[in-house]
A and B are shown apart, each in its own frame.
Chain A
Amino acid sequence: MIRAFAAGVASLLATLLVASVVIFAAMQVLPGDPAQVMLGVNARPDTLAALREQLGLDQPLAVRYWTWVSGLLTGNPGVSHTYAVPVSDLIAARLGVSLPLAALALALAVAIGLPLGMWAAARRGRAVDRGVLIVAQLGIAVPNFWLAMLLVLLFAVTLRWLPPGGFPGWDAGAGPALLALVLPAVALALPQSAILAQVMRQSLVDVLAQDFVRTARAKGLTRGQALRRHALRNAFIPILSVLGLQFPFLLAGTIIIENVFFLPGIGRLVFQAVNQRDLIVVQSVVMLLVAIVAVVNLLVGLAYAAVDPRVRRAA
């Protein structure tokens, strides 16, 4: 367990180091001049040069890379070109939207998908099962941004139950803030929950067919007891890996959905920063996203170990 953790962390750090080089290099090949973007069409060359100097863009690559990476380590990768505030503040504020959104979506997906999958598995082969399978097929196929569109039309424009988008900020109170996240989270969660339901059903059906479930029944456990005490935990193992896989999708989905609902999250930030060539922000956000995915992967690995003694003891 400790060893697995240590190995995981080591490979995580290696991943992040390589990622930082790749990302930094990618920024250098982005065409477009940050200064020009900021100052617009009437700017004169000397004005642009002055700005570039102010932004530190005239320094050698290695110096800029080092400044950035060492800044990352201390938690302050630099100052945004356009906003002129520390990148860390900028990101922290945006995470305040993106993380709750992703978490809410994940929670919703789990809360909808898993019970649905269990229900279908418990009644496998019957009408319920087929119904769930068909609904899941539909759910998987729906583009989330399209769903978002329809949701806005229905719940915000027509029924006016929920705000059509935007984010009032947490200081406006948790109520309005959460309300603003409901539609985006639903749009994100529904397709994911369809996947989860499908995986849950299949995994549970597989487990229920295994001998140890029969053994449990032979001990006198009822169907429900066997399902709860023996099948669920085993069925959860594939779910874990699916959750790990879904996370990057969710993240990508968040970026798109934030644009549909004009939520001031990480996704909007990165889009905007790319358009304005706020390189320091772009590279820091990308780095952050890569780190999040890598950390989630590590956590999934550890969760595996927590759930499955075969992995735990072998590691």
Chain B
Amino acid sequence: RTDLAIGVRLEPPHLDPTAAAAAVIGEITYANLFEGLTRIDREGRVIPGLAESWEVSDDGKVYTFRLRQGVFFHDGSTFDARDAVFTLERAIAPDSINPQKALLEPIEAVEAVDAHTLSVRLKRPTAQLPFILGLPALVIVGHETAETNRAMPNGTGPFRFSRWHMGDRVDLVRNDRYWGEKPALSRVTFRVIGDPSAAYAALMAGNIDAYTNFPAPEHLPQFEADPRFKVVVGRTEGKTVLAQNNARKPLDDIRVRRAIAHAIDRKLLIDGALYGYGDPIGSHFAPQNAGYVDLTGRYPYDPEAARALLREAGAEGLRLKLALPPPSYARRSGEIIAERLRDVGIQVDIVPMEWAQWLTDVFRDKNYDLSIVSHVEPNDLDIYARDDYYFNYDSPEYKALYAELAAEQDEEKRLVLLKSLQQKLTDDAVNGFLFLLPKLGVWDARLQGFWENAPIPANDLTGVRWER
């Protein structure tokens, strides 16, 4: 067999990763349809993509990329430095709607040195740049076809877009002019099935071969017991936090935040909401990344300590609103956390909301007390250094530490800085740090080559094949 039906949870709004933030666009297109200059591999490392190699100037402010030759877009046009320049300039233009535009802020200018050489000039050293350029939102688009990518994605990847049955599935076929090693699969169908029980039924009934991120952890034991399936629980970058509005009374009091931290029973949470899959985290950092420190013991589950801290802060009889976005991890965790907080004397009103409302009420207007959400961007410690982020965390020390990290090129020193950043967040109990969202892979036992972890939301299918 060379065909594959793979399930995704959400319907993509469209198929242009450079024009919307929806993770599912990346899950379908990244490394399959579109490729970036660099590429993030299954371990989260940066490897060459459409750029064979790159160099950094000594001051760290100029990157020079050597582009691959003999690369064609699916529509037959050739890829060269003009496309790369076009892509990056489009992303940083004033009228850009690129969701990652913020990360490109350090870029000063982009130019084509020759047809196969690109140079990127920065305002200040940014060690992250190769990683950023490997993100789904910065894949290379053809300059003639950029505006039609939403419905007719045209990239350079190993698969070509075949057809999008809106609301149901996206079909891809093998790109026979692919520059690299040809994939083993000839047809790939991404089917949109968000409902967990429908997903279960679809897998069981054999309508779908694989779910790289199955929506319902409660079903995994059944798949595990079934020899037809292979279950691989990996890690995502989804740091799930109980976000707290640090500027709001009484959450501006560190004792209250620490009390909440003590009231969080991570084991119960992981058991209850995730059926035991998922790793506890003690700070805003994923365990698989270099520089991780285990801080989960910093605030052990201790209702007594929580009550004492609340008493000390004079915050008894507290009543807080907990805004919950739609994903089931959030809704389930919310119910459990609310119950535990009630146990230490904090009344919690659950306010479920849709993303649209969450984005305006919580994220933009910061009109909330507590919320539960998973931050899936890798390496995103910068959000705590931002001025206007919805946690309302404002710590000069943290900002200073982060600035240091951003400018640091030396790997050893970077690791040390990363550790102190994690430490600082935990000390300040900025948020309740809950767990790392697992990646629940379930697929036909005869399939191999899927990513085990999800360093970025993607399903790189280049290496996937049916066992012979």
Contact = CB atoms under 8 A, between A and B. Distances in A.
A90 interface: yes
Contacts of A165: 193, 195, 198, 201-202
Interface stretch (A11-19, A267-275, A287-295, A304-312): A267-275
Given A156-B201, A262-B194, A39 B363 contact: no
How would you classify the secondary structure of chain B's contact residues: helix, strand, loop or mixed? loop
B101 A264 contact: no
Contacts of A40: 20-22, 99, 359
A47 interface: yes
B99 A43 contact: yes
Nearest to A275: B354
B205 interface: yes
B357 interface: yes
A262 B359 contact: no
A237 interface: no
Chain A, interface size: which category? 35 or more
A41 B151 contact: no
Interface in A159-183: 160, 163-169
B251 to A, nearest CB: 20
B364 to A, nearest CB: 6
Interface string B47-88: 000000000000000000000000000000000000000000
Contacts, number: 161
B168 A157 contact: no
A152 B204 CA distance: 11
Interface stretch (B89-97, B335-343, B396-404, B425-433): B89-97
A264 B167 contact: yes
Nearest to B376: A41
A305 to B, nearest CB: 38
Interface string A34-48: 101111111110110
B201 A32 contact: no
A60 to B, nearest CB: 21
Interface in B153-173: 165-169
Contacts of A149: 197
B165 A39 contact: no
B205 A275 contact: no
Contacts of A261: 198
A50 B364 CA distance: 17
Nearest to A32: B356
Interface stretch (A78-86, A186-194, A209-217, A218-226): A78-86
A122 to B, nearest CB: 41
A264 B21 contact: no
A277 B95 CA distance: 21
B253 interface: no
A83 B195 contact: no
Interface residues of B, number: 49
B462 interface: no
Of B167, B201, B359, the most chain A CB neighbours within 10 A belong to B167
B360 interface: yes
Contacts of B102: 42-44
Given A38-B21, A39-B99, A157 B354 contact: no
A54 interface: yes
B411 interface: no
Contact of B101 (A34, A43, A265, A278): A43
A93 interface: yes
A166 B202 contact: yes
Interface string B396-440: 000000000000000000000000000000000000000000000
B150 A50 contact: no
B415 to A, nearest CB: 25
A290 to B, nearest CB: 21
A39 to B, nearest CB: 5
Contacts of A90: 166
A275 B11 CA distance: 12
A133 interface: no
Given A42-B103, A83-B14, 7 more contacts: A33-B360, A40-B20, A43-B101, A47-B99, A85-B150, A93-B167, A262-B195
Interface of B: 11, 13-14, 19-22, 94-103, 150-151, 165-169, 191-195, 197-198, 200-202, 204-207, 326, 354-357, 359-361, 363-364, 377
Interface of A: 31-34, 36-44, 46-47, 50-51, 53-54, 82-85, 90, 93-94, 97, 149, 152-153, 156-157, 160, 163-169, 259-265, 268-269, 272, 274-278
19 contacts: A32-B360, A38-B13, A39-B97, A40-B359, A42-B21, A42-B100, A42-B103, A43-B97, A46-B94, A50-B96, A83-B166, A157-B200, A157-B204, A165-B195, A166-B169, A259-B195, A262-B195, A262-B198, A275-B354
- Top 10 A-B residue pairs of the complex, sorted by shortest distance between their CB atoms: A264-B167, A40-B21, A32-B356, A164-B201, A82-B13, A264-B168, A50-B95, A84-B150, A51-B97, A169-B165
